[in-house]
């Protein structure tokens, strides 16, 4: 099968390509990306397995003509491209709307006119808003930030494809873990970086805010399995575990006993997003990831050059 990955040069895309290139059923991988983050790590370092069957297309989601050309002979689309700035998810709505909403709409229009057979959209649990109780796929979305609103509007366009092809909307938790195309704006990645090089991490708020997290390898394993799964078209959550910031700090101190931490605006109580880890997707594929959080953090530290 032939695959197109939008946002393939990004944090998740780089690791997904590595995973899919090892799948014997994948014949060709096309990467469609505008390189807006100026991250070129995808193109350097070791070669991917079957690298001769991987190609790159420099393009914008809003360029409908280039999109339609890129979709020629494509069987499966992974739509990962998005504007993501974790600490600033509620600033400049146009920044998010342009790509996450209208860019997704343009891609869906192009896919509707193609021979694509499967569409996988990487969304976010942020569309649920905030909740101190565990949410699940039956919870009504209530996006509160401009980023979450734009992702939910993107979902509404993708919904149209469900009557035409196999379509999966995957709402992922807060992603962490090593990738050649690293992002250090997500909280665990930032903590590990600071722990490794500064031996001190910065905690915003009182540290009791909780999130649903998922390791990047957990996502790539799941996305790879979706190619041959019996999971019907639908919207699914994908998370690993719920943790508050202080729990994360405790594990990081186990890995780095000399670690120090400071609080900024400790009086603030920040929002929670908790997700039930009994995933509906688990009925169709193996969504387990049997590596402890302690071992993940330890391995992450070892990925740094010094």
At residue 294's C-alpha, the angle toward residues 288 and 296, to 5°, is: 60
Give 152-192 as a 3 state SS string: HHHHHHHHHHHHCCEEEEEEECEEECCCCCCCCCCHHHHHH
Which pLDDT tens digit goes with each residue over 6-38? 999 999 999 999 999 999 999 999 999 999 888
Read off the pLDDT of each residue in 230-246 and give the average, rounded to a whole number: 96
In the predicted structure, residue 271 carries a pLDDT above the cut 90: no
Among the listed residues 261, 276, 123, the one whose alpha carbon sits nearest the alpha carbon of residue 202: 261
- Domain assignments of the chain as residue spans, ordered by start: 2-176+213-239
Which pLDDT tens digit goes with each residue over 79-88? 999 987 655 4
Give the span between the Cα atoms of 101 and 120, in whole angstroms.
Answer: 16
Contact call for residues 17 and 31 (beta carbons, < 8 A): yes
In the predicted structure, residue 91 carries a pLDDT above the cut 80: no
What confidence score (pLDDT) does residue 93 get?
72
Contact call for residues 175 and 214 (beta carbons, < 8 A): yes
Using the CB atoms, write b or e for 262-280: b if 16+ within 10 Å: eeeeeeeeeebbbbbbebb
Fold exhibited by the domain 2-176+213-239: Rossmann fold (3.40.50)
Cα distance between the two ends of the chain: 40
Task: State the pLDDT confidence band at 92, using cuts at 50, 70 and 90.
Answer: low
Q: For the chain, give the mean pLDDT.
A: 94
What confidence score (pLDDT) does residue 246 get?
96
CA dihedral 171, 158, 152, 20 (to 10 degrees): 30
Is 44 exposed, middle or buried (CB count within 10 Å of its CB: 0-12, 13-18, 19+)? Answer: exposed
Read off the pLDDT of each residue in 230-249 and give the average, rounded to a whole number: 97
Give the span between the Cα atoms of 248 and 294, in whole angstroms.
Answer: 9
pTM, rounded to two decimals:
0.94
Read off the pLDDT of each residue in 111-137 and give the average, rounded to a whole number: 95
What confidence score (pLDDT) does residue 86 get?
53
Helix (H, G, I), strand (E, B) or coil at 139: coil
Which pLDDT tens digit goes with each residue over 173-219? 999 999 999 999 999 999 999 999 999 999 999 999 999 999 999 99
Contact call for residues 242 and 277 (beta carbons, < 8 A): yes
Contact call for residues 248 and 192 (beta carbons, < 8 A): no
Greatest CA separation for the chain: 57
Share of the chain above pLDDT 90, in %: 85
Task: State the pLDDT confidence band at 90, using cuts at 50, 70 and 90.
Answer: low
Among the listed residues 147, 176, 245, the one whose alpha carbon sits nearest the alpha carbon of residue 205: 245
């Amino acid at each position: 099968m032939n695959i197109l990955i939008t946002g393939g040069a990004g944090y998740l895309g780089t690791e997904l390509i590595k995973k899919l290139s090892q799948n014997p059923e994948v014949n060709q991988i096309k990467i469609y990306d505008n390189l807006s983050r100026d991250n070129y790590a995808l193109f350097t370092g070791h070669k991917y397995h079957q690298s001769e069957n991987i190609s790159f297309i420099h393009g914008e989601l809003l360029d409908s003509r280039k999109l339609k050309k890129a979709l020629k002979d494509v069987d499966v689309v992974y739509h990962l491209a998005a504007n993501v700035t974790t600490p600033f998810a509620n600033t400049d709505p146009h920044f998010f709307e342009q790509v996450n909403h209208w860019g997704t709409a343009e891609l869906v229009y192009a896919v509707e006119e193609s021979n694509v057979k499967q569409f996988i959209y990487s969304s976010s649990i942020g569309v649920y808003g905030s909740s101190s109780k565990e949410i699940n796929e039956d919870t009504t979305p209530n996006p509160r930030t401009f980023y979450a609103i734009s992702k939910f509007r993107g979902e509404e366009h993708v919904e149209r494809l469900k009557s035409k092809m196999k379509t999966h909307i995957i709402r992922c938790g807060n992603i962490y873990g090593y990738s050649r195309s690293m992002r250090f704006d997500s909280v665990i990645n930032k903590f590990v970086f600071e722990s490794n090089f500064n031996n001190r991490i910065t905690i915003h708020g009182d540290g009791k805010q909780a999130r649903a997290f998922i390791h990047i390898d957990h996502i790539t394993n799941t996305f790879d399995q979706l190619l041959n799964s019996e999971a019907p078209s639908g919207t699914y959550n994908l998370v690993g575990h719920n943790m508050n910031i202080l729990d994360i700090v405790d594990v990081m101190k186990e890995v780095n006993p000399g670690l120090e931490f400071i609080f900024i605006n400790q009086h603030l109580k920040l929002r929670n997003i908790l997700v039930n880890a009994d995933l509906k997707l688990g009925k169709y594929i193996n969504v387990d990831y049997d590596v402890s959080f302690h071992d993940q953090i330890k391995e992450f530290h070892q990925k740094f050059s010094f």
